Structure 1
Amino acid sequence: MRVLLVEDDPNTAKSIEMMLTHANLNVYSTDMGEEGIDLAKLYDYDLILLDLNLPDINGYEVLRHLRLARISTPILILSGSDDTESKIRGFGFGADDFLTKPFHREELIARIHAIIRRSKGHSQSIIETGRISVNLDAKTVDVDGAPVHLTGKEYQMLELLSLRKGTTLTKEMFLNHLYGGMDEPELKIIDVFICKLRKKLAQATGDDSYIQTVWGRGYVLKDPSPMGQVPRFAASA
């Protein structure tokens, strides 16, 4: 999962980056509100962490600009203010949650996971596809209770496929999810990751049809139980 952090205090930003990295979240940060707006428009993030007191424009303006631009990425406000008026104003501009500084790492991570799950239409932390279970909080995969050992990139691929199950995802969308537009390898690396992931899932389930190729488009994760469903196509990031 990919998180954009908009925070101008270097110590706070570094601390949050360490928290997110420890939780196996990919974090990209900026200390300017205007740059945060540009990044949110350019790249597909799962969540935006937004400080209110920024050096160029305040967080409320960032919120307003993003929602006016129809950027629907969930936004969690991080603020030293705990007054009701600040919270009401934040929610009024389109924030999804509000967390007061200082906060515990466990609470921040729990809120992030909950917001992302809800934004993808999942109320629980475990997504089941046939016999495959993906635990979004623990970052683990199992088949019938037995663990499936995946590399970090393989897990991220399956995580994205699971969050958008039934939706065809392009190779560009996978690259964006894995690398965030920075130092991206060639598109063919996605085929390599998919091949390895398919092999591990097939070995664990005895079924190689979970991840299907949509020729000329990309890949889709299909639940084997409902038959005859036509996959939806995701909008490009």
Structure 2
Amino acid sequence: MTLANGDEVRARLVIAADGRRSVLRDAAQLPCRDLGAPIDGYWFRVAKARTPDNRTEGYIDRGQMVIAIDRGDYFQCARVIPKGSAEAIRAKGIDRFRRDVAAVAPILAEGIATLASFDDVKLLSVTLDRLTRWHAPGLLAIGDAAHAMSPVGGVGINLAIQDAVAAANLLAEPMQRGARLDGLCAAVQRRRMFPVRIVQALQHIVHVRVIGRALRVGSPRPPLLMRFFDRVPLLRRIPARILGLGVRREHISSPRTPSR
């Protein structure tokens, strides 16, 4: 592998874990399938007073959707928007942005003035894709480099760690023996592709049937699916368990490398 400064690094295996804009997967020309994501998000912080408990709240009202994650002395917020609408929202100015957010999420009204300009607001372009082949000779992609996840459920880091554990379990001992790795890299993909497909399918359903309907202009109420889960709290455990624990859990079983 050649670095930006021209130095060359030689290794039996390079792990591409450099995220959804992976230069390694692009350099290897690994084939990618774009699943489509109809949303983007504006991310920003809103100051708040500390409270005994921290809760994540979602607010939906008449085509607007705001998420507020309590981080103690501030909310980490996301205004979910239809893909392609970012510039139109920005053109209306930061004052209009603050008013719209406060109208949807009154809990943010007191601290929203801390947004001085759009320099305090970052656009997250949501991507949902996956490689159809995660590996090339001497290279294995994992995490977002292999499958870019939507922010829905906050599961990207979970899957990335599970990919890493599966890769270690399948590759560590053969690497110590000096075995060929190309076939084993394919085995990592076979093991991890199933949970990736399941989670991405769930995210796609949420994009279309929940968020898409919530962002529909003129819709005064949250989508039926969200109201159903709100009325039956026990059902909330199902998506929480799938997103929190994963579809195929990974446990470390790779051998320890002898200390030198």
TM-score (norm 2): 0.26
**Normalization by structure 1: what TM-score?**
0.28
Larger of the two Rg values belongs to structure: 2
Higher relative contact order (CA 8 A, sep 6+): 2
